[in-house]
């Protein structure tokens, strides 16, 4: 797998596009500037790796749009070393962004084909999540909770209570909520029983499905 000057040049332009679209977190931009997104794409789409769009990956899923990855990561508002749970490993690109930023990452994928592929691929290119799990993200990861942040990368028809319950006080759940269109929603845990809710506009994701497959 190569990462040429041409790829690096296209990546720099992508980062400039993200800045123009309103991404301001320097650590997020630096991570996206460093990660060869074309390595995460199926061969037919490699030419589009640095276009700010979502693209198909295996098992009818998608690699999220760079803007979406950047916005969700920014909304987690975490420092290096934080313990993060990601629901929907998919291609592993969002995982790589979190790992590049120094997070301790737990990530869950429900599609066995994708799980197996990404489980091999991420360590091969030097990204090592603390744990990659084949399972149902609706349940979170109670044995490893609480987390400093939880990010859901599929459209959730409702907010799973298990995920709210697995946040530290002060931690955030970043989750796109809705059926056809999703509203990016951030829940911040204020106390054992209180959560603050904020919304950040419309996005489109593949659906968060129940059970593993
Ligand atoms: N973060 C990924 C986005 C992949 S798309 C990336 O950067 O490429 C969303 C992913 O969520 C898909 O791979 C889909 O299979 C997965 N998914 C959907 N429902 C899930 C669930 N209940 N638990 C875990 N993963 C789920």
Determine whether the shortest distance from the Cβ of 118 to ligand 1 is under 6 A: no
Higher pLDDT, 200 or 58: 200
pTM attached to this predicted model: 0.97
Confidence band of 44 (pLDDT split at 50, 70, 90): confident
Section 183-210 average pLDDT: 97
Determine whether the shortest distance from the Cβ of 17 to ligand 1 is under 6 A: no
Select which of 64, 91, 95, 191 is catalytic: 64
Provide the sign of the torsion angle of the four alpha carbons 89, 90, 96, 97, taken in this order.
Answer: negative
Provide the sign of the torsion angle of the four alpha carbons 121, 74, 69, 155, taken in this order.
Answer: positive
Section 139-144 average pLDDT: 98
Determine whether the shortest distance from the Cβ of 110 to ligand 1 is under 6 A: yes
Report the atom number in ligand 1 closest to the C-alpha of 57: 8
Q: Whose CA is nearest to atom 20 of ligand 1?
A: 208
Give the lowest-confidence range in 5-9, 42-46, 61-65, 163-167. Answer: 42-46
Confidence band of 59 (pLDDT split at 50, 70, 90): confident
> Ligand 1: distance of its center to the CA of 152 in Å?
8
First to last CA, the chain: 30
Known catalytic membership, residue 191: no
Is residue 189 within 8 Å of 167, Cβ to Cβ? Answer: yes
Section 159-180 average pLDDT: 98
Determine whether the shortest distance from the Cβ of 108 to ligand 1 is under 6 A: yes
Section 142-160 average pLDDT: 98
């Amino acid at each position: 797998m190569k990462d040429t000057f041409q790829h690096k040049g296209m990546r720099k332009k992508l980062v400039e596009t993200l800045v123009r679209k309103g991404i301001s977190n320097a650590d997020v931009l630096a991570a996206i500037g460093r990660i060869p997104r074309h390595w995460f794409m199926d061969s037919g789409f490699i030419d589009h790796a640095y276009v700010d769009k979502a693209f198909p990956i295996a098992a009818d899923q998608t690699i999220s749009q760079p803007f979406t990855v950047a916005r969700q990561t920014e909304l987690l508002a975490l420092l290096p070393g934080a313990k993060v749970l990601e629901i929907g490993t998919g291609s592993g690109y969002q995982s790589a962004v979190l790992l590049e930023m120094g997070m301790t990452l737990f990530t869950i994928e429900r599609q066995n084909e994708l799980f197996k592929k990404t489980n091999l691929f991420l360590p091969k290119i030097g990204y090592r999540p603390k744990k990659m799990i084949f399972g149902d993200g609706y349940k979170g990861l109670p044995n490893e909770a609480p987390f400093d942040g939880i990010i859901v990368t599929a459209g959730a028809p409702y907010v799973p209570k298990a995920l709210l319950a697995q946040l530290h006080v002060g931690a955030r759940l970043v989750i796109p909520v809705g059926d056809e269109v999703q509203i990016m929603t951030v829940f911040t845990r204020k106390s054992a029983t209180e959560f603050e809710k904020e919304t950040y506009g419309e996005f489109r994701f593949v659906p968060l499905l129940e059970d593993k497959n």
